[in-house]
A and B are shown apart, each in its own frame.
Chain A
Amino acid sequence: MSAAGVVDPARVVDESGRVVLEGVGKRYDTVRGPVDAVADVTLEIAPGEVAAVVGASGCGKSTVLRMLAGFERPTAGSLVVGGRPVRGPGPDRGVVFQDYGLFPWLTVAENVRWGPRRQRLPRGVVRRRTEAVIETVGLTRFADRFPGELSGGMQQRVALARVLANEPAVLLMDEPFGALDALTRTSMQHELRRIHREAGTTILLVTHSIEEAVYLADRVVVMAGGASVGVPGHVREVVAVDLAGERDVNAPDFNAVERRIAALVHAGTDGPGGGADAADRA
């Protein structure tokens, strides 16, 4: 069975993959008083779009992703996925963690069919989906292995297959390839592109690699600020990646986009007031 057959093609155009954030803020109450991790994040991601989020450490990338996942509640604003306000975690939003989060006592196949099983899908559907997504990530030969017996790259494939088995409308990935070596990382990026072409899922990808962001994303969200610089994390700019055809990380136009985003990421702190203080710090 081909991987393309797993996912309903209609899902690419339906609205279940639309992500809308409006004035989203998160304030953590800590022992040293309240900390504004992010403030006033407004963003819309179209169904089937790939959006990458980049920005300095501590600017609130994970916080935004975790609120979308339903792990954290916003303290301001609203998050809506597929027309429904986010109230908690759910199988419509698959999360891929940097540290995989696989169940070590279950085999690859058992990890992957966890989601469909919990939805109480018919046995045949569970089996077909499990087999298909394991094939999609190229792990058919390893279906009966335990996660501890696999390399990091293979474990992350399992984590990806595990959420794909739920046919989520949105994929939320927090530095999914951050723990992998450069070669594995590149091959996982190719694979993610291919899977996205086939499944058409909306993807929000948090990454530290600007190259990865430009390679994979339709738009790159550049975040700035963060509790440590005294300004809540916020969206500094959203850069559309208008690169036609197959993307080539060595092409001049690719590098131009990369440079533009790097400049935005490294422009120091600009509070909501503007970039004036960026010059002072430089």
Chain B
Amino acid sequence: MRRPTAALWAPRLGRLALGLAVLALLVAMWHLGVRGEWVLVFDIKMAFLPEPLDVAVLLWDFAFGGVNDDAFSRTLWEHLGASTLRVLAGFALAAVLAIPLGVLMGRFALVNAALDPAVNLFRPIPATAWVPLVLLIIGFGSQATVFLITLSAFFPILLNTLGATREVSPRLVEAARMLGTRPAGILLRVVVPAATPGIVSGLRIGLGLAWVILVLGESNGIDTGLGSMITLAREQVRTDRIVVGMIVIGVAGFCSDRLLVLGLRGLFGRRPLMRAA
């Protein structure tokens, strides 16, 4: 019943090659831009950027050392580990809070009426606006970062769960009821699985946002973490280190999304519980 492997992989490899070609083109433009001291829209002065090759060497040193062997060398794993833990903690907390709340709000008009105004008042407040208050009421440190990540990941997960729950086909609920399913069973065995594709979309958006907010959270009073490393580099006016930090965050965000999708795919198996990713 399985399709031949070659037929399955050939088009995928083709698409991957296309994506990599575009990336290579961007790096080439970057290189030419720095060399040619291009000035782009928004008055972007390419001359101030490090060259891609220098960044690659610095990235190698950041990860494995052997080039500069200074305080920066070989510290990538420490920063990445600390940041990943904060992202995971904040993201997991957001998911654990937002999924049940979204299902209940989507399913029970009374819960929705109670929480909808509060949700929609808090939602437009950006994490940046929370920072000053958070620093005063929580203080510098890891906890403040995790709080900001939780806060930012919470809303996309909640709203996607809520929307998906509302869109569950009434037909499925009727089918379950006529088969003798009790209300709790309807919620857990029908509504949650039927809403799962939407919940997964929310989780992916939330996890992506967690990495975005990371830098903001780590820019105050934290010594380890990719955000704090970038903050320090800015103070030292080291654009090369800033770019290295940005690349690492980009790759980490990308990989965490892939891992989330692969993990859920492993959990669901062949069950159609996810949109094509």
Which residues of A come within 8 Å of B, CB atoms?
69-71, 88-91, 93-95, 97, 99, 101-106, 114-115, 118-119, 146, 148, 162-163, 166
A99 to B171, CA, bound (A): 9
Chain B 260-277, CB-CB to A under 8 Å as 1, else 0, gives 000000000011110000
Q: Are B171 and A146 within 8 A (Cβ)?
A: no
Q: Which B residues, 161 to 218, have Cβ-Cβ distances below 8 Å to chain A?
A: 169, 171-172, 174-182, 185, 190, 193-194, 196
Given contact pairs A95-B175, A104-B272, A105-B194, a sample of 13 additional A-B residue pairs in the complex whose CB atoms are under 8 Å apart: A71-B174, A89-B178, A90-B178, A91-B179, A93-B178, A97-B174, A97-B175, A101-B171, A101-B172, A103-B176, A114-B179, A114-B181, A118-B181
CB distance from A254 to the nearest CB of B (A): 33
Closest Cβ neighbor of B171 among chain A residues: A101
Enumerate chain B residues within 8 angstroms of A105, measured Cβ to Cβ: 193-194, 196, 271-273
Q: Are B171 and A89 within 8 A (Cβ)?
A: no
> Which of A88, A99, A148, A163 touches B179 (beta carbons < 8 Å)?
A163
Which residues of B come within 8 Å of A, CB atoms?
169, 171-172, 174-182, 185, 190, 193-194, 196, 270-273
A88 to B196, CA, bound (A): 28
The verdict on A146 contacting B177 (CB below 8 Å), with A101-B172, A103-B172 known, is no
> Which of B174, B179, B193, B194 touches A162 (beta carbons < 8 Å)?
B179
Q: Are A103 and B193 within 8 A (Cβ)?
A: yes
Q: Are B271 and A146 within 8 A (Cβ)?
A: yes
A146 to B268, CA, bound (A): 13
Enumerate chain B residues within 8 angstroms of A103, measured Cβ to Cβ: 172, 175-176, 190, 193-194
Closest Cβ neighbor of A97 among chain B residues: B171
Q: Are A90 and B180 within 8 A (Cβ)?
A: yes
A69 to B177, CA, bound (A): 10
18 A-B contacts, Cβ less than 8 Å apart?
A69-B178, A70-B177, A70-B178, A71-B177, A71-B178, A90-B180, A91-B178, A91-B179, A91-B180, A93-B178, A94-B179, A97-B174, A101-B171, A101-B174, A103-B190, A114-B179, A115-B180, A118-B181
CB distance from A54 to the nearest CB of B (A): 23
The binding surface of chain B is classed by DSSP as: helix
The verdict on A166 contacting B272 (CB below 8 Å), with A101-B172, A105-B193 known, is no
CB distance from B40 to the nearest CB of A (A): 48
Closest Cβ neighbor of A95 among chain B residues: B178
A148 to B196, CA, bound (A): 17
A95 to B174, CA, bound (A): 9
CB distance from B134 to the nearest CB of A (A): 40
Enumerate chain A residues within 8 angstroms of B176, measured Cβ to Cβ: 103, 114
Enumerate chain A residues within 8 angstroms of B177, measured Cβ to Cβ: 70-71, 88-89
CB distance from B271 to the nearest CB of A (A): 5
Enumerate chain A residues within 8 angstroms of B272, measured Cβ to Cβ: 104-105, 146, 148
A89 to B180, CA, bound (A): 7
Most A CB contacts (10 A, CB to CB) among B178, B196, B272 go to B178
CB distance from B276 to the nearest CB of A (A): 13
Enumerate chain B residues within 8 angstroms of A69, measured Cβ to Cβ: 174, 178
A210 to B58, CA, bound (A): 80
Closest Cβ neighbor of A104 among chain B residues: B272
CB distance from B175 to the nearest CB of A (A): 4
Enumerate chain B residues within 8 angstroms of A166, measured Cβ to Cβ: 179-180
CB distance from A57 to the nearest CB of B (A): 20
Enumerate chain B residues within 8 angstroms of A89, measured Cβ to Cβ: 174, 177-178
The verdict on A118 contacting B171 (CB below 8 Å), with A105-B196, A105-B272, A146-B272 known, is no
Closest Cβ neighbor of A110 among chain B residues: B271
Enumerate chain B residues within 8 angstroms of A119, measured Cβ to Cβ: 180
Most B CB contacts (10 A, CB to CB) among A88, A90, A118 go to A118
